[in-house]
Chain A
Amino acid sequence: MTEIQENVITFDKVKFSYSGSNGWALNGIDLSVKKGEFLSVIGHNGSGKSTLARLINGLLEADAGTIQVLGMNVAEGKNPIEIRKHVGIVFQNPDNQMVASIVEDDVAFGPENIGIERAEIGRRIEWALKAVGMEEYRHSTPARLSGGQKQRIAIAGVLAVKPEIIVLDESTAMLDPKGRREVIEVIQRLNKDEGMTVILITHFMEEALLADRTVVLNRGEIVLSGTPEEIFENGDKLEAFNLCLPRITEIVNSLNRGGMSVPNVLRPEALAAAVAENFKSAGIEEGRSSPVSPAEINSAHEWDIDIKNLTFTYSRKSAFASKALNGINLHIDEGEFFGIIGHTGSGKSTLVQHLNALIKLPQAEKKYRKKRVKKGQPQPELPEITIGEYDLSRKKCDFRKLRSDVGMVFQYPEYQLFAESVFADVAFGLKNFKKELTAEQVEEAVRSSIEMVGLDYNEVKDKSPFDLSGGQKRRVAIAGVIVTRPKILILDEPAAGLDPLGKKEITALLHKLHEEWCRTVIIVSHDMDEIAENCTRAAVISGGKVEMCERPSELFRHGEALRGLGLDTPLTSKISEELAKSNITIECDCTAEDFTRKVLEVYGGGNA
């Protein structure tokens, strides 16, 4: 290694606290970042990650300590613009960083601000858009782009100022896997090819692994620092900092506990190779695990969902008509924990909105009249949906009652909270649906649903929902839906944007709800691991059609097909896929637990 080890950022005993809060958001941070380094920063929500990002370019000013960026003192902050020219930040929400309605105008915003002349701005737009692979979209409008594309435009907008350091403040948190992959590829390229210093703040352990060095923040302090391998070696410590191990490390650990010797690797291919090595030294040339145990057959069918031939077009009569659903046929049994997978724009949200008649079937609309069909032409097939005893294609269907039986939790449900107290917000739905309830009955229902989501009723009921933390807000929002005791609960991306621990807690909550309150739980997700770990069956939606609908063990065998649809496979199937190349066939239900069990079974079986 002959590269010059020059520090571009140095934090020296930096402290910061937000006005109006007691306690330090950052408490004595010492950190230095080298030129060309790729640093990842992880930490639970509220650990001070975003504060750190904002201190680097003077959006916030430190209360104590000094921050040096490229030899300039940030704390003296007389001219933050000089520093901001060299440090670009990409934020979390792609929508909230776009200034202009046309891509090139937005990218031009930064250079315009620092007085670059026109011809040079043109060159920079071209270069920056090329660097993020978006040159074809120069004249598009951001509103029509996907999340990943928008975020790449945001990166281009930052690049056009030509910074030496780029900071990503949870910039992938709101994206689907495809968008996340796109953004991460861009970042890696900028780091490797352009020699840019990158600071990646993230909730995704899998992304943190890609860096040269990882820093762990806990309650405003740096508690761990080292290569990703070093950091993820000591798992118990991470849990103490409200973080989780990456899934792969969990698998490595349980394999080691089961008697194999697998080094602490971070990539599925490496893990597969290490496992194969173990088999080889144990003298196992080939092996096959026992098949997946057949699914338990559910006898109750009172609340089955049946969808036939569902087609839907947005703005049907205008020039902008777009077909969202194109002949969906789907049957969901009572008692399932069902997954709906699909990338942004695949039609999955449109599909679930039909299930509680937020979008009504055409025949159920008041104005609907049967079309006369010319002789000889076939009768057009009308979509049908039945949920339990509700027939959604009938005008007479009691849609209000349906909505209280089919609960729907939207994406980022905390953004729909509005009432002055947690109690009033949770009671909102109940009072709408069941006007006949007495005050005591309402209180009882609200209490039990707030307790169900794991909050202390007496502590939170009078609080304003806006004073709660992010994870608590989401729980309150979920409580506001389950308060009517729906038989079927639908959740759109229930864990999106939460930190790893928050995700785990929400997943546990959903299982508890599934066992105790709701017959059927349906989650819409693009996190394959989440689907693999939790769902009994899952449907893949693409282009408004059901491409596949199977149990995870079957579904994720079609790795090629899934990737072709812009989706991914869970970690366990990636490893299985690799292992199959070494003649080891692992058949599992794709959960990490079953996977390690089956690997150890083949390993032990061969040894015996």
Chain B
Amino acid sequence: MLNDVTFGQYYPAKSFVHKSDPRIKLLALIAYIVSLFLAKNFYALAACFVVLVTTIIASRVPFGSVMRSIKAIIVLLIFTAVLNLFFHGGEHLLVQWGIIKIYREGIIFTVFFVFRLFFLVMGSALLTLTTTPVELTDGIESLLTPLKWVRFPVHELALIMSIALRFIPTLIDETNRIISAQKARGADFESGNIFKRIKAIVPILIPLLISAFRRAEELGDAMDARCYSGSKNRTKYKKLKFGWRDVIIVLLFAALITGVVMLNIYAYRIFPEIYEYIRLS
């Protein structure tokens, strides 16, 4: 049942993007998202696209894998796109069926909106494709470090996240085993109405919970036995290193934000006729 769930979607490779610092990748993603939302015209959006494609090529992740991430939002995307298309106002009326009016501005806006969302999802997917969950946690912990000054339990939070990540495959295995065992005893998870199906989950959920508690207890003992006593006097073996790759990424994304801002202001000078035609109202 859970066979197809591969946790996270890390694509193992040794590329430029894989090797760079997760903190920088996180910050770069934020910069990229900000740029997407700052972009006010197609030229600026195209700049984001160029950066996205460059990064994908540099990551050596197949284009297909990145595109696959769109599947998750496709329904939402079509729904909002259709609403936008039908109900966006404008000056140049193209088609009219009853109350539905499609304007040229509506089409342009919808296209813009769809691409922006596409780029957003693809960019985020690229981060998880090139960064292991462990690196991500480390990155998040490191970026949150300043919060220690306001007594925010950064270390504990990071430990919880990394233990959760560590146990996800173990618990998936366990769930599969319990499902098989109950199936062998005639349990039926695939037919019946919703209530029957919810009821059928009980024989999986209870053993799973019990085992999770047992594991938690044993893990607690093992951590105690290995001298764990919170973050006090604790050192950290892994240090994230800021390298030349990260400098390049910082420069690239700084350039992106500047570029987008410049294009927002000066784009009308580039091919004015085209700009005028596809201008967003």
| A binding-site residues for B, Cβ under 8 Å | 54, 57, 59, 80-81, 84-85, 88-89, 91-93, 95-102, 104-105, 108-118, 121-122, 125, 142-143, 154, 157-158, 161, 314-315, 318, 320, 353, 356, 358, 400, 403-404, 407-408, 410-411, 413, 415-419, 428-429, 432-433, 466, 480-481, 484
Contacts and interface: CB of A to CB of B under 8 A. Distances in A.
A88 B222 CA distance: 10
A92 B229 CA distance: 22
Contact of B183 (A318, A320, A403, A417): A403
B181 interface: yes
Given A97-B218, A100-B162, A428-B203, A410 B169 contact: no
A93 to B, nearest CB: 6
Nearest to B169: A143
Given A105-B237, A416-B207, A466-B210, A99 B184 contact: no
Contacts of A95: 170, 215
The interface residues of chain B, by DSSP majority, are classed as helix
Given A110-B227, A143-B169, A356-B184, 8 more contacts: A89-B222, A96-B215, A143-B170, A318-B4, A410-B181, A416-B177, A416-B181, A416-B182
A428 B4 CA distance: 28
Contacts of A99: 159, 162-163, 166, 219, 222-223
A116 B227 CA distance: 12
A315 B235 contact: no
Interface string B175-212: 00110111111111000000000000011001100110
A105 B1 CA distance: 31
B235 A121 contact: yes
Q: What interface size band does chain B fall in?
A: 35 or more
26 contacts: A54-B221, A91-B222, A92-B218, A95-B170, A96-B214, A96-B222, A99-B222, A108-B238, A111-B237, A113-B234, A115-B233, A118-B235, A118-B236, A125-B237, A158-B226, A318-B6, A353-B180, A358-B183, A413-B181, A415-B178, A417-B207, A418-B207, A428-B185, A428-B203, A432-B185, A432-B186
B261 interface: no
B151 interface: no
A125 to B, nearest CB: 8
Contacts of B228: 109, 113
Given A93-B218, A407-B184, A101 B235 contact: no
B52 interface: no
Nearest to A144: B169
Nearest to B178: A416
B121 to A, nearest CB: 21
B225 A410 contact: no
Interface string B52-64: 0000000000000
The interface residues of chain A, by DSSP majority, are classed as helix
A59 B166 CA distance: 24
Nearest to B200: A432
Q: Which of A117, A158, A403, A415 has the most CB of B within 10 A?
A: A415
Contacts, number: 157
B134 interface: yes
B184 A358 contact: yes
A591 B228 CA distance: 49
A97 B219 contact: yes
A111 B233 CA distance: 11
B225 A481 contact: no
A19 B211 CA distance: 22
B239 interface: yes
Contact of B227 (A81, A100, A416): A81
B224 interface: yes
B117 interface: no
Contact of B218 (A91, A104, A353, A418): A91
Contact of A100 (B166, B182, B234): B166
A121 B239 CA distance: 12
B165 interface: yes
